[in-house]
Amino acid sequence: MAEIVSRLEEEYPLADCTLDWGKDYELLFSVRLAAQCTDERVNMISPALFERFPTLESFAEADVAEVEKYIHSCGFYHSKARDIVACAQTLLAKHGGKVPGTMEELLALPGVGRKTANLILGDVFRAPGAVVVDTHCIRLANRMGFVDTKDPPKIEAALREVLPPEKSADFCHRIVLHGRAVCPARAPKCEACCVRHVCRFATGN
């Protein structure tokens, strides 16, 4: 893990979330929109959405059907719009309009699972030990040899055991970048991989 972390840091020095956001709740909502959708697509529609609903209060008061029109191209727009409006209402009613900073409070928000909660904890609160298990993380953690499971909670726990806590959030962002650029689901480019010498998939060990 130390070698992989070091090599990925060299390969991807900027380990930022690829979703565009300004306010904390904008990241929360964008992550919800990104479910079964690309970050690129979310970044295309989010500016108009956040311009139409510029405050948390405006989201809380929004007509779900109108929100659906702005996010239609992201897929699953009925449930996503409903969750976003309900989440805004919950943030105002229970958290003073602030995104909470604990796993338990985040998981209690509409539409928020462990992946989203860990992303918020890592990117907004810079909490050590935040491990975001998305499709790239699932694929690469298995290929590299850290796990033999597709179960996100098990992968999260396994990675948390071996990752330096202060590097875990950035590592997960770099895994996404590496998964897109070098290690896609089909035809991984092992010859161009910076960690091929310690990857179980590439070495066959």
Q: Known catalytic residue: 63?
A: no
Residue 13 is classified by DSSP as: S
**How many whole angstroms separate alpha carbon 106 and alpha carbon 95?**
11
User: Which residues have a Cβ under 8 Å from the Cβ of 69 and sit 6 or more positions away?
Assistant: none
Q: Known catalytic residue: 170?
A: no
Q: Which of 80, 115, 123, 167 is catalytic?
A: 115
**How many whole angstroms separate alpha carbon 57 and alpha carbon 137?**
34
Answer yes or no: are the C-beta atoms of 166 and 127 closer than 8 Å. no
Rounded to the nearest 5 percent, the helix, strand and coil shares of the chain are 65, 0, 35
Q: Which of 24, 83, 123, 134 is catalytic?
A: 134
Catalytic residues, which ones?
Answer: 115, 134
